[in-house]
Amino acid sequence: MRIIKAGTTGESGSAEEMAAINAFAKAQLTPEEIYTFSVLLCDNEVDRDFERFTEKTLLELRELFVGKTGITDHDWSAGGQKARIYRTEVVTDPDRKNSLGMPYTYLRGYAYMLRTQSNGDLIAEIEGGIKKETSVGCSVAASLCSICGEELGGGSCSHIKGKQYGGKLCYAELTGAVDAYEWSFVAVPAQRGAGVIKKLDPGKGLSGFVGSEDGSPFSKEFETLSREAALGRRYLKQLRRETLRLALLLDRKLHDALAGSVEKMDEEQLEALKESFDVRLASAFPPLTQLPGRNQVVKRVGDEYKV
C-alpha cells in the first residue's frame, strides 16, 4: 500500500470530514490538531504471493477497515498505534487495467493522526516520502484457485500458485472478507501496488506455504505429491462407482442404501465390500457355456441354437 496524498488542507478540514474523525475521538478535535492523509490499502491486482482480492471482497473490506488503527511493522502493541482510518472508498480507475485485463480497482482509506511531538518525526517522514509503503492485516473466508475454482490446497485442487497451466496463471482469489485487523507502515509489502499481509481463515495450508518465499524450495516435491494425491482421489472415485455398480446388480435396494455411505468409506473398506460383492455375484450368476463339457454324452436336439 502506498500513501496517495498528505496534508491538512482542502476536504480534510471540512465539517463533514471533522465529524467523521471526531466520531472516534473522546474530545472534539480541530483541524489544527490533526494531520490527515489517504492510503491505498489493497487492490485487485495479483500480488507477489500470487493472490488477489476480488472486487466484491474489496467492497466488503471497505466497511471493515473504518476505525482500524495504523501501526508499524504489524506490531500489535498498544504503544505502536499511530493513526486511524475514519473513512474508506473503493475506487475504479477507468484508464488503467490490472495484469488480468480487468479495470484496476483499489480500496482507499482516509486516515488521521494527532499533531503531537512524538508524531512529528513520522509526519515529516510521510511528507518527505520516506514512509510510503504500508500493508494491511485482514482475514478472508476462502482462497479459490483461478484454474479450477476450488479451494486451493483442498481435496479436489492440486494446482500450485505461480505455475502456468495451459498458458493460464494459477493464483488465489481471496473471497469473503471476515475481518480487518489493522494497517501498518512496512518496508516491503506483498502487493505491488499496495502491500498486504493476508490471513486466510481458516489457514492457507501447505499450498500457501509452498507459494511463499520460505516454502518455494519445496514446490517441486509438493507438485509431485499433489499429482499422486490426485491419482489417489481418482482411484477412490472409480472404486466407489464400481462398488455401487456391483451393488446394483445384486439388489437395487442395496444400491440405494449404499449410495451415500460409500462416500465416507476409505480404500480398505471399499475394496473389502467390492470383494464381497464379487463373490456373491459369482455365486448368483455362475458362468455358462454353449458347448457341453468334455467326456459328457448329451442328446443334441438343437434347441439352444433356435431363435
By residue count, the chain amounts to 307
Kindly tell me if the per-residue pLDDT of 301 is higher than 80: no
- According to DSSP, the residues that pair with 168 across neighbouring strands are 165
Q: In this predicted model, what pLDDT tens digit does every residue of 235-244 receive, in sequence order?
A: 888 988 898 8
Q: Are 104 and 44 in contact (CB under 8 A)?
A: yes
**Could you read off the pLDDT of 63-74 as tens digits, one per residue?**
999 999 887 765
How do the domains of the chain map onto residue ranges? 3-214, 221-284
How many Å apart are CA 105 and CA 237, to the nearest integer?
41
Question: How much is the average pLDDT of 43-50?
Answer: 91
pLDDT tens figures, 83-95: 999 999 999 998 9
* Higher-scoring residue by pLDDT: 2, 53: 53
Q: E-assigned strands of 125-238?
A: 134-145, 164-165, 168-169, 172-185, 196-200
Provide Rg for the chain, Cα atoms: 32
In the chain, the largest separation of any two C-alpha atoms, in whole Å, equals 118
Query: What is the per-residue pLDDT for 107?
Result: 94
Pairing of strands 172-185, 69-72: parallel
**pLDDT for position 9:** 31
CA distance linking residue 131 with residue 119, whole number of Å = 13
Find the range with the poorest average confidence among 38-42, 223-227, 277-281: 223-227
* Statement: residue 187 has pLDDT above 90: no
What per-residue confidence (pLDDT) applies to 127?
84
Strand pairing class (134-145; 196-200): parallel
